[in-house]
A and B are shown apart, each in its own frame.
Chain A
Amino acid sequence: MSALTTTLVLWFRTLLINGLVNCFIFLFAEGIQGFMIAFVSTVGSLFVTAPLLVPMFFLLKWFKKLPYHFTDRAVWLAFMLVAMAASCILFASFVLDGPNFLTDEVVLIFLFSAMVAAALVVPVCINRLRQYDNF
Chain B
Amino acid sequence: MPTTSKKTWVLLFVLGAVLFNILLWQEKIALNAILFDAFLLGMLIYLYAGAFKKTQVLLMLLLHLTTAAALLWHNTTLSKIAFLTSFGLLVGFIQYKVRSALFAAGGFISNIILAAAGISENVRTSTHTNTPNKRRGRIGFVVLPLFIIVVFFAIYRSSNAVFATYTNTVFDRIAHFFENFFSYFSFGRILFTLLGFYCTAAILLKSRSRATESREAGYSDSLLRNRHKYYRSTGSFLYTLSVAITGKLAKGMLALKNENTIAIISLLLLNILLLAVNGIDVYYLWFNFSYSPNTDLYTMIHEGADMLIVSVVLAIVVLLLFFRGNLNFYKNNTWLKRLAWLWIVQNIVLVVSVFLRDYYYIRELGLAYKRIGVLFFLALVLVGLITAAVKITQRKSAYYLFRVNTWAVVLLLVAASCINWDVFITRYNIQNHQTARLNIPYLVTLSDDILPEMKQHLGLLKQREDTLNKQGYYVHMEDARKKCSQCIEETINTRIQQYLQTQKKYSWLSWNRKDAAAVNYLTQNQ
Contact = CB atoms under 8 A, between A and B. Distances in A.
B419 interface: no
**Chain A interface SS verdict (over half):** helix
The interface size bin for chain A is 20 to 34
Contacts of B114: 66, 68, 76
A68 B114 CA distance: 10
Interface stretch (A24-32, A40-48, A50-58): A24-32
Nearest to A20: B147
A72 B209 contact: no
B116 A75 contact: yes
A69 B124 contact: yes
A69 B209 CA distance: 13
B151 interface: yes
A67 B119 CA distance: 14
B276 interface: no
Interface residues of B, number: 19
**Chain B interface SS verdict (over half):** helix
Interface in B132-166: 136, 147, 150-151, 154-155, 157-158
B154 A76 contact: no
A79 interface: yes
Contacts of A79: 116
A67 B1 CA distance: 15
Contacts of B136: 123
A59 to B, nearest CB: 11
B495 interface: no
A75 B117 contact: yes
A32 B158 contact: yes
Nearest to A74: B120
A80 B209 contact: no
A71 B158 contact: no
A11 interface: no
Interface string B482-524: 0000000000000000000000000000000000000000000
Contacts of B209: 66-67
B117 A72 contact: yes
Contacts of A71: 120, 124
Contacts of A28: 154
B453 interface: no
Given A31-B158, A66-B209, A72 B124 contact: yes
Given A68-B208, A76-B114, A35 B154 contact: yes
A13 interface: no
A73 interface: yes
Contacts of A80: 116
A79 B136 CA distance: 20
B121 A68 contact: yes
9 contacts: A20-B147, A27-B150, A27-B151, A32-B154, A67-B208, A68-B121, A71-B124, A72-B117, A72-B118
Interface of B: 114, 116-121, 124, 136, 147, 150-151, 154-155, 157-158, 208-210
Instruction: Kindly list the 5 A-B residue pairs having the minimum CB-CB distance in the complex, ordered from nearest.
Output: A79-B116, A75-B120, A76-B117, A31-B158, A27-B154
Given A66-B117, A68-B121, 17 more contacts: A27-B154, A31-B157, A31-B158, A32-B154, A35-B154, A66-B114, A68-B118, A69-B121, A69-B124, A71-B120, A72-B120, A72-B124, A75-B116, A75-B120, A76-B117, A78-B116, A123-B136
